Chain A
């Protein structure tokens, strides 16, 4: 089967330049919105999905969904940290385990209003457990037992008074920012300080959770099952990776719904526009189609040729959408992560997969929009067409 040359379709799009451009931009805007939301979601999820480690265990109170809901008294946390044989030991022979206090504190935002910034009181072993993943961008670590804190990089420029050497008053106690740290994960939006000092200042003499590096080969599920009914310290255990993945459902779900609802609804509009454009192509080329058919091209070929032109339109629209969304890549934004109810900063992450899907979606829009006009074109009778022209 012979198709009319593709060059013909290119030329046809070029001849109806204004219409083509408008349709392309309209399809482009649609896929750009879809891809934009997806890259936002990707940026948010990657913070949680990619930074959690399998070998690090998070101990929470049974029934607690997040560390904000969880609590251990200090002595019970001590029992966990010191008696579990599954916990690995550091070079100093002490268990690699740390009790952490977690609290979302009110902080003023740079652009007005206030938000909930997670503050984490840690023991020194927390640094050993995070290891090289946590790096200092400026300043130094806080001195154990002092009223010093370090802040995550992403808080800079978003939260007022959270820069190097600033003083943050927690309840009634002033804390000095002595360093800024970077961590490729949600810790990046947190403030860290000495657990004992923060417990004192915040009048919260508990640990929210215990984290620990486990010995290689430890079965976390089995450990969790064993501790669930522990008579002194009932606890549930998750790997850090698993824990973080439970902290994204709500916001991620909203973004998902937003992406699909908007993509769907705008897609319908884009299909309508595409159909209109192809109908215009049809009416301006009635005569040419008649001639093609009279020359002996099969109706099926005319159908495919039209469909290909619509697909081409979609392809160009998809490319335009990608160009529209690419500049978003890396732009930092922030909102409340509703699972932890704390402020989280993340960047748009435009990935090749997202761009690929955007182009495919655009082509699909083109095909759907083009199929009815293509069908009409194929069903034309050459005689009728030529007489009409």
Chain B
């Protein structure tokens, strides 16, 4: 028999301490959710990649373009349905700090290679029709409220400067939303033809070429065979290529982060450690104050486990509450972080997996923290308890 009623009473007997412990737990769980979500978001692109696409890029460097003449040769490979050029544009919108990604693409095949992209405002027809048309991600449209359908988006070319040094001007034909993490909602796409045309007419100073080709495969095609065929096609130069699955391509960007995920992990560990100590501290204080009460309970005939159970229950109650609050705050603030870190960590989201892990960790902290005090409370002899009081 355990006098459970005492648990909430004890928590209420020291409202400030209960609040502070709850607060530390909440903060820690929130922080864990945040760090875990960042790492999850970084890997989200890999996880959500489509297996029906492969990416062809230079085997030498991310910055080396492939000749345009490669496109028909790739399309001739067996199993290839269609291709889409992607060229990093690197333009500046008003200021460098407004950084977001822009790609010159084959407008005809962008939406067929990426069925994940959906137009939520404007239309694809308009995008196809306008030579200087572009579409922007919905987060981008939120970030820059002045950019809406029908508006002009001026970009200063850093890699593709116009001869006179003036800005490129694109007409916003639509706003898209991607329902998958492998395409983020912070990107702008425009017609590759427009870029190429500008280079032909001498208004732009840069090498012609294309950064990468996105290749859509026939249903049921063996990806490895296509990869090998394309790599072999260009193995003798002039530019060797590297054909990867979309997942591998995304993973390249994650591994480029080097020690960042490790860093996040160790910070998470430190947070957990600090908070574990804080909760142990509270439980020890609680146990010390209750020495006499536990003595009384035992004198009244309650078994040893009653005292231990009370402490464990108190710690668990605190940690579960802290866990729920922390996860709740992480969930509620997720849209804010999505906005703030849109370009750095696209796809930041507190998934139910993250929430579950955080809750389990919180409960674990509560359980571990109450272990030693509970054991001591169980071992306590009533006469020691009364002596300690005297």
A adjacent to B, CB under 8 Å: yes
**Residues of chain B within 8 A of A161, CB atoms compared:** none
| CB-based nearest A residue for B344 | A254
In chain B, positions 226-272 with a C-beta closer than 8 Å to chain A are 236-240, 242, 251-252, 254-260, 263, 267, 270-271
Given contacts A69-B159, A335-B259, contact A22 B236 (CB under 8 A): no
Provide the residues of chain B in CB contact with A336, threshold 8 Å.
256-258
Check if A363 is an interface residue, CB within 8 A of chain B.
no
Q: A29-B270, A32-B270, A203-B239 are in contact. Are A272 and B23 (CB under 8 A)?
A: yes
Q: Is A268 an interface residue (CB 8 A)?
A: yes
15 more A-B residue pairs beyond the given contacts A40-B263, A62-B165, with a C-beta to C-beta distance below 8 A: A18-B284, A23-B278, A29-B270, A29-B274, A33-B267, A64-B158, A113-B254, A172-B240, A203-B239, A266-B27, A266-B31, A269-B274, A269-B275, A276-B281, A341-B256
Number of residues of chain B lying within 8 A (CB) of chain A? 58
**B61 contacts A105, CB within 8 Å?**
yes
**A19 contacts B by Cβ under 8 Å:** yes
Residues of chain B contacted by A269 (CB below 8 angstroms)? 23-24, 27-28, 271, 274-275, 278
Say yes or no: is A104 at the interface (Cβ < 8 Å to chain B): yes
Given A23-B281, A113-B255, A115-B255, check contact A103 B64 (CB 8 Å).
Answer: yes
Residues of A contacting B263 in the complex (Cβ-Cβ under 8 angstroms) = 40, 333
A37 / chain B contacts, CB cutoff of 8 Å: 267
Contact of B1 with A by CB under 8 A = no
Within 8 A of A (CB), among B80-94: 90
- A-B contacts, 28 of them at CB < 8 A, read A23-B278, A26-B274, A26-B278, A33-B271, A61-B161, A64-B158, A68-B63, A105-B61, A112-B255, A114-B255, A170-B60, A171-B239, A172-B240, A202-B61, A203-B64, A203-B238, A269-B23, A269-B28, A269-B271, A272-B27, A273-B274, A273-B281, A275-B20, A276-B285, A280-B285, A333-B263, A341-B62, A341-B256
Interface pair B285/A104, CB less than 8 Å apart: no
B138-162: CB near A (< 8 Å → 1, else 0) gives 0000000000000000001111010
Smallest CB separation, A53 vs chain B (Å): 24
Sorted from nearest, which 5 A-B pairs have the closest CB atoms? A113-B255, A335-B258, A29-B274, A272-B20, A269-B24
B273 at the interface (CB under 8 A from A): yes
Chain B nearest CB from A154 CB (Å) reads: 12
Select one of A26, A105, A275 contacting B60, CB under 8 A.
A105
B residues near A367, Cβ cutoff 8 Å = none
Asked if B252 and A283 sit within 8 Å, CB to CB, the answer is no
| Smallest CB separation, A40 vs chain B (Å) | 8
Give the complex CA separation of A26 and B278 in angstroms.
Answer: 7
Q: Mark A267-287, 1 if CB is under 8 A from B, else 0.
A: 011101101110110010000
A positions within 8 Å CB-CB of B? 18-19, 22-23, 25-26, 29-30, 32-33, 37, 40, 61-65, 68-69, 71, 103-106, 109, 112-116, 170-172, 202-204, 254, 258, 262, 265-266, 268-270, 272-273, 275-277, 279-280, 283, 333-336, 341, 343, 372
Q: Does B2 contact A (CB under 8 A)?
A: no
Q: Report whether B281 and A277 are in contact in the complex, using a CB–CB cutoff of 8 Å.
A: yes
